[in-house]
């Protein structure tokens, strides 16, 4: 038996579905585009070619031989264990989910940092989004979008946004007042001050938020397998149903290897590529 709160939540979902169903359908079609485009690259490219491409991207971003070797080895092990196709489905969902979350979250963080009216509202919303159990997001996602990859991406976006919003807000608020005053003294507009002073100064904090966003996206994508998201999460759910320790461990290890690779790449971006020369 549900209380008034639960009844209100159910009525709200029904209201959104009835009056904004057309918008949700449009959103689903829009999300299908990057999922299909990136999916075609990840699914149709030969694994060995893709591993070489990943190694090249890693070397370009990190400029560290050891880090590149670790990332390359991670994907090589996934291929060797036989989880390449599942890993690419998971990676596709993680990249699209994290990208959408970042596009939405960074402007929200900037707004929260620059508006004392919006800040408490956005912080309260982020508290709610961050503390709500991840499984709860799957229920309205299924109602609005049905089963499949798209509802998993939508639930992941909501779940992964808060760290980017919080750390963007924090990073901009921690910009020294003197730097803002210098920019104003040179006649900078608010937009110029934001793009030339505040965002570059806050970038380490923003990149830390993006790193956390990607890690949360990966964890949520695995959970989204329960509503047809597929990928490594589906292998884990299958192993759980069969109490198959070997399958569960291998699929879980593949998730860990992807997490390590993505974490190293985002850390390198946060550190600015670790310099201009290759290092071991």
What does 88-118 look like in DSSP terms, one character per residue?
A: HHHHHHHHHHHHHHHHHHHHHHHHHHH-TTH
Asked whether residue 192 is assigned to any structural domain, the reply reads: yes
Q: CA 145 from chain center: how many Å?
A: 19
- Residue 275 banded pLDDT, cuts 50, 70, 90: very low
pLDDT in tens, 228-274: 888 888 889 888 888 889 988 999 999 999 999 998 888 887 776 44
CATH number of the CATH domain containing 255: 1.10.3720.10
Confidence of residue 20 (pLDDT cuts 50, 70, 90): confident
* Full domain range(s) for residue 83: 4-274
Tell me, what's the pLDDT at 280? 52
Mean pLDDT of 56-80: 90
What whole-number distance in Å separates Cα of residue 233 and Cα of residue 228? Answer: 9
Within a domain: 178: yes
Asked if 268 and 261 touch (Cβ cutoff 8 Å), the reply is no
Residue 74 included in any domain: yes
- Tens digits of residue pLDDT in 105-157: 999 999 999 888 889 999 999 988 888 888 888 888 888 888 888 888 998 99
Number of structural domains the chain divides into: 1
Q: How many Å apart are CA 19 and CA 40, to the nearest integer?
A: 34
129 class by beta-carbon count within 10 Å (0-12 exposed, 13-18 middle, 19+ buried): middle
CA angle 125, 131, 135 (to 5 degrees): 110
Proportion of the chain in helix, strand, coil states, percent, rounded to 5:
85, 0, 10
- 280 assigned to some structural domain: no
The answer to whether residue 155 is domain-embedded is: yes
- Quick: pLDDT tens for 163-204: 999 999 999 988 888 887 788 787 778 888 888 888 888 898
What's the half-sphere exposure (Cβ side, CA atoms, 13 Å) at 176? 4
Tell me whether residue 279 is in a domain: no
Domain-embedded: residue 52:
yes
Q: For the whole model, what pTM was predicted?
A: 0.88
């Amino acid at each position: 038996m549900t209380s008034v709160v639960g009844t209100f939540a159910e009525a709200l979902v029904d209201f959104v579905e009835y009056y904004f169903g057309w918008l949700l359908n449009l959103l689903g079609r829009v999300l299908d585009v990057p999922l299909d485009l990136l999916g075609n690259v990840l699914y149709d490219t030969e694994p060995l070619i893709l591993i070489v491409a990943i190694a090249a991207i890693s070397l370009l971003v990190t400029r560290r031989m050891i880090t590149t070797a670790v990332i390359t080895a991670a994907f090589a092990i996934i291929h060797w264990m036989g989880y390449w196709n599942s890993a690419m489905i998971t990676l596709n969902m993680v990249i699209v989910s994290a990208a959408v979350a970042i596009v939405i979250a960074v402007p929200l963080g900037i707004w929260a940092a620059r508006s004392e009216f919006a800040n408490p509202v956005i912080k309260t919303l982020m508290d709610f989004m961050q503390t709500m159990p991840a499984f709860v997001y799957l229920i309205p996602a299924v109602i609005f979008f049905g089963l499949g990859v798209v509802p998993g991406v939508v639930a992941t976006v909501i779940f992964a946004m808060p760290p980017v919003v919080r750390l963007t807000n924090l990073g901009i608020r921690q910009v020294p007042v003197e730097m803002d005053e210098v920019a104003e003294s040179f006649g900078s507009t608010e937009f110029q001050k934001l793009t030339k002073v505040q965002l570059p100064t806050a970038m380490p904090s923003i990149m830390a938020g993006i790193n956390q966003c990607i890690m949360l996206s990966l964890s949520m994508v695995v959970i989204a397998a329960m509503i047809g998201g597929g990928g490594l999460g589906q292998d884990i759910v299958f192993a759980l149903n069969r109490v198959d320790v070997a399958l569960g461990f291998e699929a879980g290890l593949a998730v860990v290897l992807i997490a390590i690779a993505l974490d190293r790449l985002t850390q390198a971006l946060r550190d600015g590529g670790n310099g201009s020369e290759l290092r071991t």
